[in-house]
Amino acid sequence: MKIIPHTVKDIQIVEVTSEELIIKHAEDGLDLLGNLYYQGFDKIIIHQQNIIPAFFDLKNGMAGEILQKFSNYRVRLTIIGDFSAYQSKSIKDFIYESNKGNHINFLSSTAEALSKLAG
């Protein structure tokens, strides 16, 4: 796992990348949150390809469990990727509603995520 710190307008943002899945289970999301929060980051970018596809199947509750932890700790999270492959109405609605706010966002690029998190 590679941790890339970014500073935008004096705001610290961390981008997490890996050649492997980072989040395979709900516990992995909590571990990531705790590790990065402990290092002083409260704005996190993670790539879609580093999250198990089951995360995007809202019926299993994984996304809700992980994202609730980020909300509880007031850590902003942006997942970047191409979400067009997910055709269920529920995930499309979830992404749409999430993007209306500032806490959890699903965006297409690191540049877009940095702008959103620093804004």
**73-85 confidence digits (pLDDT tens):** 999 999 999 999 9
Q: What is the pTM of this model?
A: 0.95
CA distances (Å), 17 to each of 72, 103, 111, in order?
24, 20, 15
Residue range 2-118 in CATH 3.30.590: no
72: enclosing H helix or E strand: helix 62-72
Note the pLDDT tens digit of each residue in 56-72. Answer: 999 999 999 999 999 99
pLDDT at 106: 98
Q: CB of 77 within 8 A of CB of 103?
A: yes
Residues 76-109: tens digit of each pLDDT: 999 999 999 998 999 999 999 999 999 999 999 9
In single-letter form, the type of residue at position 54 comes to A
Distance, in Å, from the CA atom of 8 to the CA atom of 15, rounded to the nearest integer, reads: 13
Where exactly are the structural domains of the chain?
2-118
